[in-house]
Chains A and B, each alone.
Chain A
Amino acid sequence: MRIPSFYLPGRGLLHACDARVKLLLLLPFAVLFFLPLSLRLLAAYLGVLAGSYLLFLGPRELARTLRSLLPVIVLVLLLTPPFHPQGRPLLVVFSRPLVTWEGIRESLALAGRFTGLSLLFLLLLRTTDPDQLILSLRWLGVPFETALVITITLRMIPSLAALYENVLDAHRLRRADEEPSGRGALRRLAQVLPVLTSVLIQAVKGIPLLAMALESRGLGRKNPRTSLLELKSSSGFRRDLAAGLFILLLVLAPLLFFPSWKN
C-alpha cells in the first residue's frame, strides 16, 4: 500500500526558501485568516495563495487540493446561515429567518478562512523536504528525542502498512473456505480484530530490537552530537527571512495603512 508523502519536489523559489523561514512565517500568515477581514480582502488573499499554488506546484495539484476541500466547503456554506439569523432576511420559513445576508456573508467568510488555512499549510508541506522540516523544528527548540521519534515514525509507516496488508492476506487465505465476510460496520470490525492483534504483536515485538539498534548507535551518550544533514547557511537564512518579512508586510499593508479596506 502506497502511503502518500506530503512533499512534492520542485525547483521554485518556495522550494528553495529556508524551511525555518517558512515555519516562522506560518503562524502570522495563519493568524491573518482569523482577523475580521472584508470579503474583498479575503478573496484577494485567497487569490494570492491560489496563485502561489499554481506557480510552485502546478494546476493539477491545485485542482486536486481544491477537490479534496470541496465537501467541507459545501458543508460550511450550507450549514452556517441557519446559525446566523441576524440581518436582512432572504429566506423565511414558518415566520423565522432561515437565511439572511449576514448569514451568507458569515458562511463565505468561514469557507474562505478554512480554504485559506488549508492552502497555507499545504503550501508549506508540499514545498518543504521532511528532513529539512524536522531540522527546522530542532532549530526552533523541539528536543532531539522528539525529532528522532518523528523521523523513525515516518520511515516505519510504509513498512507497518505493508505488514498490515500481508497479515490481512494471510488471514484471508485462512478463511478462504468460509462464507464471504458479512455486511455491517460492527461485523467488519469484529473480522478485522484478529488481523489487528497480529499486527500489533509484530509491531510491539520490534520495540526491544529498535531500542538495541538505537543504543548501539550511541543514543543516550553525553558527548556532543554531529549531524549528517544540515540547514542552510546563516546568510541564506537571513536573506530568505528578509524576503519573507517583506512579503508579510505587503500582505498586511491593506490592514495597516488602509483601514477602510477591512470593511
Chain B
Amino acid sequence: MTNKSSSAPGTAFRIATLAVLTAVTAVFTLVIRIPIAPTRGYLNLGDVAIYFCAFSFGPFTALAAGGLGTALADLLSGYAQFAPISLLVHGLQGLVAGLIASSGRGGRAETPLWLLAVCAGTLIMCSGYLAAESLLFGFGAALVELPGNLLQNLAGALAGIPLALAVRRAYPPIREFRW
C-alpha cells in the first residue's frame, strides 16, 4: 500500500504516520541524550524530532506528534505535571514551524524558510515554557530554565535541518507522506 500523491491519505495512513512519529518524538526526548560537560546536564533531542516532522511531514503532523510525543515522554519519565504544558507548547511549536516551512515553493528557498521556522518555533517554545513554569514554580526558577531551552532549540536547528535533508535524500518516498 502506498500513499499516492494524487489522492488524500486515508485514515489508516494518517494514524500510522502519527503513531510512528509520536513514538519517534518520545524516544528522541526520553532515550537519546547529549551530555553537556560544563553543567553535567543533558540535551534531549525532542526538538530535533519536532523540526524533522515539521519539515518532512507538514504542520499538522508536527502539531500532533510534537505535542503528544513530548507529553508522553513527560508522563513516562515521571514529570507528569509538565505533560499538559508540553502538549500545548511543543504542539504549537511544531504547527508554526511546519506552517512557515511549507509556505515556500521548495528548492533553494527552502533552507532560509526552515531557519525562519526554527526561529519562530524557538520563540514559541521558550516563551511558552517561561510563562507556564512561572505559573507553576515562580518567575525566578522559570528564568533559570531559559538558557537550557534555547540550547535545546539550537540543537533542534543544527540537527533537525540536516536530518530532514539527509532522510529525504536517502529515502525519496518520504516526500509523498506529507498531508
Contact = CB atoms under 8 A, between A and B. Distances in A.
Interface of A: 1, 3-6, 34, 65, 68, 72, 75-76, 79-80, 82-83, 106-107, 110-111, 113-114, 117-118, 121-122, 124-125, 145, 148-150, 152-154, 156-157, 160-161, 164, 183-186, 188-189, 192-193, 196-197, 199-201, 203-208, 210-212, 214-215, 219-220
A208 B83 CA distance: 29
29 contacts: A3-B30, A4-B76, A72-B141, A76-B137, A79-B138, A79-B143, A80-B138, A83-B140, A111-B137, A113-B136, A118-B81, A125-B80, A145-B11, A153-B26, A153-B68, A157-B27, A160-B27, A161-B31, A185-B43, A192-B34, A200-B24, A207-B177, A208-B3, A208-B16, A210-B16, A210-B19, A211-B16, A212-B1, A214-B15
Given A157-B23, A197-B166, A210-B19, 15 more contacts: A3-B31, A75-B141, A79-B143, A114-B137, A121-B81, A152-B19, A152-B23, A153-B72, A164-B27, A183-B37, A193-B166, A201-B170, A204-B167, A204-B177, A208-B1
B109 interface: no
Interface in B115-156: 135-141, 143-144, 155
A207 B20 contact: yes
A211 B36 contact: no
Nearest to A214: B12
B76 A193 contact: no
Contacts of A188: 34-35
Contacts of B3: 208, 211
B24 A207 contact: no
Contacts of A117: 81, 136
Given A113-B136, A114-B137, A203-B24, A156 B36 contact: no
Nearest to B31: A161
A76 B1 contact: no
Contacts of A219: 11-12, 15
Interface residues of B, number: 64
B34 A204 contact: no
B23 A75 contact: no
Given A157-B23, A185-B36, A4 B78 contact: yes
B136 A211 contact: no
Interface in B55-109: 64, 68-69, 72, 75-81, 83
Nearest to A1: B31
Interface of B: 1-3, 10-24, 26-28, 30-32, 34-37, 43, 45, 48, 52, 64, 68-69, 72, 75-81, 83, 135-141, 143-144, 155, 158-159, 162-163, 166-167, 170-171, 174, 177
Contacts of A5: 76
A194 B89 CA distance: 28
A123 B31 CA distance: 24
B128 to A, nearest CB: 18
A145 B10 CA distance: 12
Contacts of A203: 20-21, 23-24
Given A153-B23, A157-B27, A164-B32, A4 B167 contact: no
A249 B17 CA distance: 44
A114 B136 contact: yes
Nearest to A198: B170
Nearest to A6: B75
Nearest to A165: B31
A250 B13 CA distance: 49
A79 B146 CA distance: 14
B138 A76 contact: yes
B174 to A, nearest CB: 6
